[in-house]
Amino acid sequence: MEHKAIVFIELNGQTVPAGMIRIIEDGRFSEATFAYGKRYLERANAIAIDPVQLPLTDDLIGAPADFSLFNGIRDAAPDAWGRSLIDKYVLRRLNRPAMEAEFLLASQSGTRAGALRFGSNPSGPGQVLPFHLPEFSPSLGDLEQFQALVDQVVRDQAHEAPEPLMDFIAPGSDMGGARPKGTVMIDDFPWLVKFGKEGDRISMASAEAGCLDLCEMAGLEVCERRIETIAGRPALMLKRFDRYLDDAGALHSKHMISSLTLLGAHELDRSASGYADIYDAFRARGGSTSRKIGEEIFRRMVMNVLCGNTDDHYRNHAFLYEDGKGYVPSPVYDVTPSLQVSSSRAMFLHLGRAGSGRNATLEAAVAGAESLGLHRDQAEAIANELSEMVAANWRQVMERRGCSAEDIRMIENSFSEAGKQVALNPDEPSF
């Protein structure tokens, strides 16, 4: 089966057609090609949708072998949770599982991550497939019903969900990640809501909010957040940082790519890259140099170690395109403690360049600092300061966010590195 769609991107507040994607599917086989439009290439402000796999060229581009989609376009598609919603909707409506292209093209609600949208012709984004998900923009008052659909899906009972609940499929299907989530409007601005699940061992909303609070205390830019109680359970609300309002109050989107796209890596390349590889790719692709990016990435790496966040995978590191600046790191998001008895942990990414090791210790983080452009003494000072800060504050921060005494006991091992100090090396030369 063949699917064609016009790919739109929002540039400087204007949604324009960038090119056409063609997806061919035959059973498990899937391939994609893309071509930029001539008029798009002539634009003075044209940017590559994907700086690695889709450079600006008038050639027809084929997706690399073993890639069903280009990474930069895949960033606009849902992950596990969104895919499960679309699959259940197609099964309910068409009595068959969803196909790969349908996961990308089913929803045109405008809530997907970043600034890409799709349409059947260059006139504008719109329905591409023979079916489309319900158009619905939920608000705070709709969240209990939204939670009801979440519970039905988690129980694998979506086929029994009352018809009105199906309105929540579209606003829940666009975002990445495995946990239940969706986009809701609060004061005319979109927020991501991460729902609680029946059977959660701890309040994940409280724990994640606490980790983000600690990251902010570490001097990092963190997405705005709040906790709401929905149907008796805490849910984490994150203000969308890939959206902005112009001076007239109109809502717009920012182009966003994941570190997977920046690296040109494959989804299955677990542990094939490190923080320094992201840093190198960022610099090679013309990322903004207006910030101390090496130190910022180092602080993020250290905080993931100190919070026990081993879910530091490619899609949990994103970059936003800002006109006149190029790509800049997005605010920090999705930092959660791991729930395990052992205090020994392995990160997803290497703490330095690929091959440097994934052991989640303060020493390993400092050892990887040089590959991020930091000197050893600078890295030691930062790591020791952050370690002391987290040790002194993490319990109180978690309590303030609503974690119970049992929650804190459950996540205590995640903070086992907090309070440790890396011995300063007086013989290290300072420049």
> In this predicted structure, what is the pLDDT of residue 407?
96
Helix (H), strand (E), coil (C) string for the chain: CEEEEEEEEEECCEEEEEEEEEEEEECCEEEEEEEECHHHHHCCCCCCCECCCECCCCCCEECCCCCCCCHHHHCCCCCHHHHHHHHHHHHHHHCCCCCHHHHHHCCCCCCCCCCEEEECCCCCCCCCCCCCCCCCCCEHHHHHHHHHHHHHHHCCCHHHCCHHHHHHHHHHHCCCCCCCEEEEEECCEEEEEECCCCCCCCCHHHHHHHHHHHHHHCCCCECCEEEEEECCEEEEEEECCCEEECCCCCEEECCEEEHHHHHCCCCCCCCCCEHHHHHHHHHHCCCCCCCCHHHHHHHHHHHHHHCCCCCCCHHHCEEEEECCCEEEECCECCCCCCCCCCCCCECCCECCCCCCCCECCHHHHHHCHHHHCCCHHHHHHHHHHHHHHHHHHHHHHHHHCCCCHHHHHHHHHHHCCCCCCCCCCCCCCCC
Considering the chain, what is the average pLDDT of its residues?
89
Tokens 């006139």: give the residue: 123
pLDDT in tens, the chain (431 residues): 899 999 999 999 999 999 999 999 887 778 999 999 999 999 999 999 999 999 999 999 999 988 989 999 999 998 888 888 888 888 888 888 888 899 999 887 778 899 999 999 999 999 999 888 877 778 888 888 888 888 887 777 666 667 666 666 666 666 666 678 888 999 999 999 998 888 788 999 999 999 999 999 999 999 999 999 998 899 999 999 999 999 999 999 999 999 999 999 998 887 789 999 999 999 988 776 667 999 999 999 999 999 999 999 999 999 999 887 889 999 999 999 988 777 788 999 999 999 999 999 999 999 999 999 999 999 999 999 999 999 999 999 999 999 999 999 999 999 999 999 998 664 554 33
Structure tokens at 394: 């993490």
List the Cα angle 98/102/105 in 5-degree steps.
Answer: 155
CB 13 within 8 A of CB 6: no
Q: How far apart are CA 228 and CA 238, in angstroms?
A: 11
What's the CA angle centered on 374, arms 372 and 379, to 5 degrees? 110
Residue range 125-139, pLDDT digits in tens: 999 998 888 777 788
For tokens 């008038």, the residue is 58
Express each pLDDT in 350-408 by its tens digit.
Answer: 999 999 999 999 999 999 999 999 999 999 999 999 999 999 999 999 999 999 999 99
- pLDDT above 90 covers a percentage of the chain that reads 64
